[in-house]
Structure 1
Amino acid sequence: MKIEGIIAYPVTPFKADSQQLDLEALTISLNALLESQCDAIAPLGSAGESAYLTWQEWQQVAQTTIAVVNQRVPVIVGISELTTAMAIQKAKKAEELGADVIMVIPVSYWKLTDQEIYDYYQQIAASVKLPIMVYNNPATSGIDMSPELIVKMFNEIDTICMVKDSTGDIQRMHKFHALSQGKLPFYNGSNPLALEAFCAGATGWCTAAPNLLGDLPKQLYQAIQQGDLSKAQTIFYQQLPVLSFIVKGGLPKTVKSGLNLLGFSVGSPRSPLQGATGAEIEQLKGLIHAAVK
């Protein structure tokens, strides 16, 4: 499966009074993301607070997302688990529910060897037929997979067919390209790197930004596709202050605060995460207004 363009990451809304899942708010925010012309929806990533959900909640979010999107665009379900067994359980559930792709990131308490990481992916791949996106984000997972390891898995594990890298190092993208002879599709997960990554040939941009910026991320992608670098630069710099703010402040906190500002009642992040302060909310309000005016 080839997915190109903007892969949008929804938050997981909670009710303000109880911090229970708010599936109605999830439905509203998913439809808004689809209106922003994103090319795929990826629930249960970092912005979706997947690490803070119960197994039952994880299933509810996956099921609701797949039902609401209803094949309008591909759904990429995120899986981040310490144990191989739980990752396989989630992979099987994602397949059963009708996901198009799974995005898999190993999470580390004990540091994992390359062989342990390889076996983790291989065993997940053996359990389902779904295409797998390898997700590398050492800031959240505690694991930094080398380009060499990722390309080795791409070459040897049939269903691994794409990589999302959130390190913010453009050199890694060049290395993926060189090591795989340009065959491994690269998806940029570092928001401030969006312009450089697209200019260097990234297949897509994985981002929570469309929640707050509408179709501005898609406009950036379209400008690159049209070969209009000047327009792409203008569109990128228009949104960069918001991108930098949400990355620095943490996605669940900042994106939820922004959505609440825009009239979507998505609640606060789940404890121990805390919502944005009054000063942060005011700053974000000004940044969003300046970007989308």
Structure 2
Amino acid sequence: MNLSGIIGYPITPFSDLIKGVDLEKLGIVIDILLDAKVDAIAALGSAGEAAYLTKFEWEQVAKYTVKYVDGKVPVVIGVAELTTEQAIERAKYAHAIGADMIMVSPFSYYKLNEAELFQHYESISNATPLPIMIYNNPATCGVDMSPKFMLTMVDGIKNACMIKESTGDIQRMHKIHKLSKGKVPFFNGCNHMALEALTAGASGWCTTAPCLIGDQPKQLFDAVKQGDKDKAQALFYQQYEFLEFIVTSGLAAAVKSGLSIQGKLDGEPRKPLLPLTKSAQKTLRNMLTELDCIKA
């Protein structure tokens, strides 16, 4: 499938009343992303606290997201499991509920070698016809895959067709572009590198930022694609401190605090994650005010 642009990541709202996922609030978050003109929605990523959900909750979020989006944009489901068997189960479920793609990151306890990683992705590919985005995020998953190896998987695994690179090393994106002769789509997963990545030829930007700052990421993407360097640079530097802040503060905690500050949604991340401190909330409020995303 052809996928490009801004891939928006919803947070997962929880309800103290039902001690679980608040699907009604999830719908509000999805509407916020759609209003922000995202080109796809990727449920169950880091911002969605996927690692902290039960199997039932994970399936709830996946199914509700696909149903609620209702074909308005493609839906990508994140799959990050310790075992191949669990990953296959999640991938099959994503296919059964009508997801358009899966984004697979090899979550690891033991350090996996390339043969183990290849068989992991190949086994998932053999279990479902869904397109696979290979996701490299060593800071979270404990596995670091080289551009050359990921391209080997794209070449050798039938459904592996694109890459999300989140190491923060722009040289890796250059290598993906160069080694693939520009034929393999790659996506930026590092918020504060958005301008560099898009300029380097990234097909899109995976981000939860639109939950708080609307279509400003989309404006940046469009400016780069239109070749308006000055506008793109101005838009990026306008967002830069905010993008860096939500990453260093923790995506789930930062976005949930931001939505509360904006009066759109209340709720905290799931423990052991903690909400932002009062000081950090003040900093975020000031940033959102400067970005014209909250009334002064």
Do these two structures clear the TM 0.5 threshold for a shared fold by scoring above it?
A: yes
For the 8 Å contact 1:164–1:187, the answer to whether it is kept is: yes
- For the residue of structure 2 that corresponds to 1:144, the secondary structure is coil
For the 8 Å contact 1:22–1:266, the answer to whether it is kept is: no
Question: Residue type of the partner of 2:289?
Answer: H
Hey, what does 2:88 align to over in structure 1?
88
For the 8 Å contact 1:173–1:186, the answer to whether it is kept is: yes
Hey, what does 2:161 align to over in structure 1?
161
- For the residue of structure 1 that corresponds to 2:257, the secondary structure is helix
CA distance in structure 2 between the aligned counterparts of 1:31 and 1:18, rounded to whole angstroms: 22
For the 8 Å contact 1:16–1:268, the answer to whether it is kept is: no
Q: What does the per-residue CA deviation read over 1:231-263, in whole Å, with 9 as the maximum and x for residues that have no partner?
A: 011111111111010011111111111111112
Hey, what does 2:208 align to over in structure 1?
208
Match runs of 1:191-206 below 5 Å: 191-206=191-206
Question: Residue type of the partner of 1:28?
Answer: I
Question: Residue type of the partner of 1:145?
Answer: M
Hey, what does 1:109 align to over in structure 2?
109
Hey, what does 1:239 align to over in structure 2?
239
Match runs of 1:63-74 below 5 Å: 63-74=63-74
Q: Which runs of 5+ in 2 are unaligned?
A: none
Change (3 A) 1:266 1:71: farther
For the 8 Å contact 2:20–2:57, the answer to whether it is kept is: no
Question: Which stretch has the larger CA shift, 43-52 or 253-262?
Answer: 253-262
CA distance in structure 1 between the aligned counterparts of 2:154 and 2:53, rounded to whole angstroms: 30
Hey, what does 1:259 align to over in structure 2?
259
- For the residue of structure 2 that corresponds to 1:274, the secondary structure is coil
CA distance in structure 2 between the aligned counterparts of 1:91 and 1:267, rounded to whole angstroms: 29
Does residue 223 of the first structure (1) align with residue 256 of the second (2)?
A: no
Hey, what does 1:171 align to over in structure 2?
171
Hey, what does 1:248 align to over in structure 2?
248
Q: Which runs of 5+ in 1 are unaligned?
A: none
Instruction: State the TM-score, normalizing by the size of structure 1.
Output: 0.98
Match runs of 1:6-21 below 5 Å: 6-16=6-16, 19-21=19-21
- For the residue of structure 2 that corresponds to 1:281, the secondary structure is helix
CA distance in structure 2 between the aligned counterparts of 1:290 and 1:210, rounded to whole angstroms: 15
Question: Residue type of the partner of 1:125?
Answer: S
Superposed structure 1 runs of 4+ greater than 3 Å apart = 16-19
Hey, what does 2:274 align to over in structure 1?
274
Does residue 182 of the first structure (1) align with residue 189 of the second (2)?
A: no
* Aligned-pair Cα RMSD in Å: 1.0
Hey, what does 2:75 align to over in structure 1?
75
Equivalent residue pairs, number: 293
Q: What does the per-residue CA deviation read over 1:127-156, in whole Å, with 9 as the maximum and x for residues that have no partner?
A: 000000000000100111111110000001
- For the residue of structure 1 that corresponds to 2:14, the secondary structure is coil
Hey, what does 1:44 align to over in structure 2?
44
For the 8 Å contact 2:161–2:184, the answer to whether it is kept is: yes
Higher relative contact order (CA 8 A, sep 6+): 1
Hey, what does 1:30 align to over in structure 2?
30
CA distance in structure 1 between the aligned counterparts of 2:278 and 2:94, rounded to whole angstroms: 38
Question: Which stretch has the larger CA shift, 16-25 or 194-203?
Answer: 16-25
Question: Residue type of the partner of 2:63?
Answer: Q
Question: Residue type of the partner of 1:120?
Answer: H
For the 8 Å contact 1:14–1:266, the answer to whether it is kept is: no
Question: Residue type of the partner of 1:246?
Answer: I
CA distance in structure 2 between the aligned counterparts of 1:184 and 1:153, rounded to whole angstroms: 11
CA distance in structure 1 between the aligned counterparts of 2:133 and 2:3, rounded to whole angstroms: 11
- For the residue of structure 2 that corresponds to 1:292, the secondary structure is coil
CA distance in structure 1 between the aligned counterparts of 2:267 and 2:222, rounded to whole angstroms: 33
